[in-house]
Every structure is written in C-alpha cells, then in structure tokens.
Chain A
Amino acid sequence: MPALRTGSHPAVRHGLLSAQAGWESRADYERDGGYQPGLSGADLVAAVAASGLRGRGGAAFPVARKLATVAAQAGEKSVLVNGEEGEPASVKDRWLLRARPHLVIDGALRAAQAVGARTVCLYVSDATSAASLDAAIAELGAVPPATWPSAALPAAALPVELRVFRVEPSYVAGEETAAVNAVNGRPAKPSEKPPRPFEEGVRGLPTLVSNVESVANLPAISAGAAGAGQAFLMTLGGAVPRPGLYEVPFGIPLGELTEVLGGLAGPARGYVMGGYFAGLVNSRGHGLPLDYDALKAAGTGLGCGAVTVLGPGDCPVGAAALLLAYYGRENAGQCGSCFNGTAAMAGVAAALAHGEARAADIERLAGWTGFLPGRGACATLDGAVNVAASLLREFPGEVDAHQKRACAVCAATDFLTTDSPFALSPGSITPNVGATL
C-alpha cells in the first residue's frame, strides 16, 4: 500500500490539516491559536448556522440545528464525539485524532459549552487515536481546574469531564445509536429510532452525537475565521498515483481534483462515493461538483467525503460484488430485511460477476433496490441498496455483458476474500502536510 499523502487545495483557508510534522501537542496547538476565547453559546450556534456546517460523518445533518436541539432540552446533557469511522475507505477522522487531538478536544469542549453538557465522550475504535487522545487529555489535566482546559471558555462550561471510550471497529459501530449503546454498556449495534440520541443518549441524557471532523470545525467558526467550515476532508483512494487525505473546498468538480491532487493512472472508469455508502457513479462523476446537494441531485452522495477511483484495472460489477458482500458480512444481523436483503443482493452481484446471472436475477435485484430502502433500523441496508441500484443505473452495458460471461478483471478477482474492499489505513499517513497543491 503506498503511503497516503495529505494536502490542501490552494483555496482552503483555516483548514483542519496542520502545517507541522508529527503529533500536535497542547503547546503547539496553543501557539497556533488554539483554546482561545471565541463565540460561545447561542452566538456559536448562530455562527455555525451561518457557516452552513453539516455533519461530516456522512448524513450531512445541519450541525447548528443539532446543537440547538440538544441545547433546548431540559436538564443535564452529554456530548459524544464520534470517531469510530466505520467506512473502510475513509481515514479523515482517525487522521485528525492521531495528529491533532487538541483541535478535536477544543471543538468538543465548545460543543459541550454550547449545548450545556458537562460530560464529553470521545468514541473511537482505533488504538492509536485513543492513545493520542489520552496523551492530549493528560496535558490538559496538568493545569489547575480553574483554567482547565484554558481560560478560553466561560467558567460556566467547566469542569467538563472528558472520557475516551474504545469500541471494537465495525461498519455499524459508528452509527449514532450504536455509539450510544456501546457507551451505555450494550453491544455497539444500532437501535430503532425514536428515541434519537438528542432525546435519549448517553446515560439516558439528551446527547449531542457529532462526528470528529464536524467538531474540529468549531474552533475556527468560534474564532470567526473567514472560510471556516467551507472545505472538507476528502479521502481519495483507488486508482490514483497519490492516494491520500486532501482538504478541498465544496463545489469543485471531482475530475478537477483527481487531476490537481495527483493525476490519474488512466481514464477513470467510475467512482465509489461517500465511503461505500453512496455507491457507484460512472465516468460522468468526473464533472460532478463535490457538494452535498449537487451530488444528491445526481443520484449519489458525498457522505463522509471518501472517494475511490475505479481505473482501467477495475470492473464496476466486480467492485459492486465486493461491496455488497461486505454489506452482507458487516451488517448488524438485527433487522430481517437487512440481513436477508444484503445477502440476496450480494448473491446476485456475485453471480453476475461470475457470468452466471440471468435476466430474471437482474430483475429481482432491481426490485429489491425499489422495495428495500428504509426497511432497516439504521441506514446500512440503504447503503447496500445504493450500491446495487447505482450498478444498474450507471453501468447497464457492463451489467448486460456480465450476463453473458465474466470479464477478465472479475475472472481474476477473489470474491471469497473477507478483506474490506478499497480500505485505506491511516497508519500509512505521514502526519503532516506533505504536498502543497
């Protein structure tokens, strides 16, 4: 696996990728303007609303609305910062936690102040992330509580109890109710909603569950920095010479980025969008702006910001078969429509990749993509449907051809693997901004 790079688009200001090499200490972070006084409470919520910040875990829910909703609940509240990052093609949250723990903690403390929470749970599965957070919290703890974490935040917000919670990694463990369940001592599996965490979360308290990258945007927004929240972290993987973690402004066409950010090894055959969740797009993805609404209108999504490029050596049918097999394995095994539906869709996709599916199988697959959305307690089944539906929509020629016989790529693919397709590891990221783009 090639080393992952990091880099920022020239238009990015007040980005989340640090300019320094290695782990950012409290002293480093404060020297760079961290833990400083800024907008708080309702003023911070208003600034977040003005920034347009949407949840970076994948659901893109407006962060200000979530903050305001939790803030409006009566009594004690809680914050859960979600760093589980279950999408295997995404590394951004683990990178932030490993390289810039104080940025995440600073954002989490501001979120806690804004909603009136006294407890913050930092929810992670990555051991290196947990160690980074532990080290950062130890640095904060060395300062007397009166100024802890600094004099920056209103005294009414302190003391805030910071706690790191580690969970076994899995696709579903990052779902917000799964996170709450895990912290509450139950299996890290999603629950049927309602109640949602803002009503009943950690220890039954109204809880703000927010993604690591979402809260990492709060310090710059709190400081009133121009451009804060206007870029996102994109994990770029697959058939590109320079896979990596790149910070890019919203709205730039995908094709422009894959050229700017590393060039393509060959013409892109397609893309896997939003980690696995938003499914496939064909080569038209080249012209699609990286924007939540534009991508949604195009039938796909930005999700957690991870994009995998499919090159000449990839087959979209084979990719869909591997992704659906993953959903078949990694779903929570709870909802019948999900464990049956993912297995059924994975079965047809595998048969198609092997050149053994017939028209009736493809009709059944199309039928499931129409009937199954929304039939699970969480969105896992919807993610699998996105993969299957997008295969049929974006690659009809390949689907037809595979009904006659498997292509050379599929014939050479091991579909029995239990590896996560297109997975990237933050372990191979150099923890600094290497590339100036």
Chain B
Amino acid sequence: MKIKLDRTICDGFGKCAEHAPAVFSLDEWGYASLERGLSADADLPPELEQPARRALLDCPVHAIIERRPSR
C-alpha cells in the first residue's frame, strides 16, 4: 500500500497521528507530514497499513490518498 499525504489540503485536525503515529508526525501547529523514512513512492511496511488506512478513512479533509498502481 502506497499513500500520499497532500499537505496543501491538510488542515491540522491531527486524526492521522492519533490512528497511526508511526506513519504521521505533527508539527507544533498540528500539521502532518509522513514520518521520516516514509514516502509516497514506497510501500508502507505491512504492519503500518491498517493504522494508515484508519487514518485515511478518518481524515476530515481527505488529505490522505491511497496511490493506485500507475497506468
């Protein structure tokens, strides 16, 4: 599973870091980025897929997007 966090959309609700603190880190203003070492270009470690999916489904502004295999 590959996910992208669109930080131009993120509004800092912070739900992602509640569900998947190993995937998402928040800055001191509450805005998220993927944890260092994770990238939208690489598959998540399998054990992080489930929490990442919960974060994806719970993001109020849909800033987390699952990347489909490219054409």
Contact = CB atoms under 8 A, between A and B. Distances in A.
- The main secondary structure of chain A at its interface with chain B is loop
B8 A192 contact: yes
A194 B8 contact: no
A337 B33 contact: yes
Contacts of A192: 4-9
Contacts of B27: 336-337, 340-341, 371-372, 375
Size class of the B contact interface (CB-based, 8 Å): 10 to 19
Given A199-B70, A336-B12, A337-B27, A194 B7 contact: no
Q: Determine chain B's interface SS by DSSP, over half rule.
A: loop
B7 A337 contact: yes
Interface string B1-31: 0001111111110000000000000010111
Interface in A14-48: none
Contacts of A337: 7, 27, 29, 31, 33
Interface in A312-347: 332, 334-337, 340-341
Nearest to A192: B6
Given A193-B40, A194-B41, A341-B27, A336 B4 contact: no
Given A199-B70, A371-B27, A374-B33, A335 B40 contact: no
A190 B11 CA distance: 17
Interface string A355-391: 0000000000000000110111100000000000000
Interface of A: 189-194, 199, 332, 334-337, 340-341, 371-372, 374-377
3 closest Cβ contacts across the A-B interface? A336-B31, A334-B8, A335-B7
11 contacts: A190-B8, A192-B8, A194-B4, A194-B40, A335-B10, A336-B7, A336-B31, A337-B7, A337-B29, A340-B27, A371-B27
